[in-house]
Amino acid sequence: MSEKPASTIDPGVRIGHVHLKVADLERAVPFYRDILGFEETYRRPGAVFMSAGGYHHHIALNTWESRGGQPPAPGTTGLYHIAILYPTRRLLADALRRLIDAGIPLDGASDHGVSEALYLRDFDDNGVELYWDRPREEWPRDESGGIKMKTEPLNLRDLLAELETEVA
């Protein structure tokens, strides 16, 4: 007898890796490797696979259909951004420091109540969100207990101050 599917997706389901079409691997790889700090795990013709912590890959960059191509025009469909989750606020602050040191501009920085996020573009104009989640018990809730997200400016000086505090 087959198991009846659940009405909602199992909470253990996760979104795994992302493949990004890029125009030039030698231009794209330094952004993810040298600036964000991902490690190259595997390379094959037309593709580079990268990870955090030795996983097979979190991000793959490929030119299989896009070598020499242009970013999609505004007003077209496609990927809005990839989101990279940092485990702590301090590590998000370190990512911000890396971006500043590399001269990478931000498109925005927001406090969403449940998370704090930095928004930017990679060298192929792909949207990238770098964020950390606050502990669930700190998430803002409405009167019925539902999540009440917001979008307010993120204080970048306050975020960078995380790097000045001693790690226990």
- CA–CA separation, 153 vs 98, rounded Å? 20
pLDDT in tens, 44-101: 999 999 999 999 999 999 999 999 999 999 899 989 999 999 999 999 999 999 999 9
Looking at residue 3, what is its pLDDT?
66
Please list, in sequence order, all residues whose beta carbon lies within 8 angstroms of the beta carbon of residue 154, skipping any fewer than 6 positions away: 109, 110, 111, 116, 117, 118
Give the amino acid at 158: D
**What one-character DSSP code corresponds to residue 70?**
-
Q: What is the pTM of this model?
A: 0.90
**% of the chain exceeding 90 in pLDDT:** 85
What does the H/E/C string look like for 117-165?
Answer: EEEEECCCCCEEEEEEECCHHHCCECCCCCECCCCEECCHHHHHHHHHC
pLDDT averaged over the chain?
Answer: 94
C-alpha 153/C-alpha 118 separation (Å) is: 10
Q: Identify the structural domains of the chain with CATH numbers, from first to last.
A: 15-68 (3.10.180.10), 80-168 (3.10.180)
- Degrees (nearest 5) of the Cα angle 129, 150, 153? 65
Question: With 90 as the cut, is the pLDDT of residue 166 above it?
Answer: no
